[in-house]
Amino acid sequence: MRHFLSLKDFSKEEILEIIDIGLEVKSNLKKGIYKDELSRQSLGMIFEKSSTRTRVSFETGMYQLGGQALFLSSNDIQLGRGEPLKDTARVISSMVDMVMIRTFGHDRLEEFAKYSKVPVINGLTESYHPVQLLADYMTIKEHGLEKNIVAAYVGDGNNMTHSWLMLAAKLGFELRVATPKGYECDEGIVKLALEFAKESGAKLIFTNDPQVAVKDATIVTTDTWASMGQEDEKEERVKAFNGYIVDDKLMSLTASNSKFLHCLPAYRGQEVSEEVLEGADSLIFEEAENRLHAQKGLMVWLNNKI
Ligand code: CP
Ligand code: NVA
């Protein structure tokens, strides 16, 4: 049995296998073919934070695979009233076939997985958001850009940045990360990514200059400057991230065939301009839709490993 907690635990071959299953179920769905690979199965979805894409994609995905999903907001289950996580994990995993959790510290996810009898999927923690990267890579592949990825991440050194680092380090592509001083990536995660990069040949570059990061890049991406749980820091962050907006001026430095990605939700006029977000090179809504297909691929893959 495997969990999907971070891309750090997955090989290049495994990541590509998941994407390929996702592309196959996507193509089947578009033809109206449903194979019910997860017939009669239940996915428990625990949310300790808000969500639009993650909830809708997992819930719909599970239904399309012949199963069902349970939306378990921590406000409504006993977890939110203090029932220990390890008890919650043993109870829920004795009744469902897979669990997805969106939570705060990555250690909470790891603790749940330790006590779970069924595969656990990371639906976002403070450290990583790996299901998003499956959708991002699927989108890159569909646009035929996977052979020549020079990716630039401009913004906060957060769960999305860490996930990009792991994807690049595992698949072996170039990633430049531009963060303001004081908002760099987690040192331990960077160290780990650099270790993997030695094996894969990935080039990981860190800078405080967005213009250096995006020069001739084929993929440009960013994320909110204030993640969920950082609402109180919003004002100081907007000041600290001055000059980090991905706008037409910054995009003009990228390769001529470059594309823009964003996990969403996006804050127009902060990390990205309206023109870039809505522009011809923006793939954001295909990327969002691919959450559904990539995660179906993941759930089928995890089920095959049991
Ligand atoms: N990108 C993403 O995970 O979106 P939600 O927060 O809406 O799930
Ligand atoms: N970094 C953001 C991603 C939201 C999908 C957050 O954690 O809130």
The answer on 159 and 93 residing in a single domain is no
- Note whether residue 139 is domain-resident: no
Contact at 8 Å (CB) between 37 and 300? yes
The 8-class DSSP code of residue 184 comes to P
Confidence of residue 99 (pLDDT cuts 50, 70, 90): very high
Provide the mean pLDDT of the chain: 98
CATH code at position 202: 3.40.50.1370
The answer on 184 and 113 residing in a single domain is no
The answer on 159 and 71 residing in a single domain is no
Taking the CB of residue 301, how many other CB atoms lie within 10 A of it?
20
Indicate the length of the chain as a whole number.
306
The answer on 158 and 62 residing in a single domain is no
Catalytic residue at 40?
no
Closest ligand to residue 225's CA: 2
- Note whether residue 100 is domain-resident: yes
- Residues flanking ligand 1, CB < 6 Å: 51-54, 124, 132, 263-264
The answer on 86 and 150 residing in a single domain is no
The answer on 98 and 204 residing in a single domain is no
pLDDT at 221: 99
- Note whether residue 137 is domain-resident: no
Q: Whose CA is nearest to atom 2 of ligand 1?
A: 53
The answer on 187 and 204 residing in a single domain is yes
Range of the domain at 271: 144-282
Confidence of residue 302 (pLDDT cuts 50, 70, 90): very high
The answer on 268 and 175 residing in a single domain is yes
Catalytic residue at 102?
yes
Catalytic residue at 3?
no
Select which of 41, 132, 270, 295 is catalytic: 132
The answer on 153 and 43 residing in a single domain is no
Burial 122-133 (b: 16+ CB within 10 A, else e): bbbbbbbbbbbb
The answer on 148 and 267 residing in a single domain is yes
Q: Which of 47, 50, 54 to mutate to test the pocket of ligand 1 (most atoms within 8 A of CB)?
A: 54
pTM: 0.98
**What number is the average pLDDT over the span 137-145?**
97
The answer on 13 and 88 residing in a single domain is yes
pLDDT at 250: 98
The answer on 294 and 278 residing in a single domain is no
Closest ligand to residue 127's CA: 2
Number of domains in the chain: 2
pLDDT tens digit string along 181-201? Answer: 999 999 999 999 999 999 999
Q: Which atom of ligand 1 is nearest to the CA of 56?
A: 8
Select which of 3, 55, 64, 263 is catalytic: 263
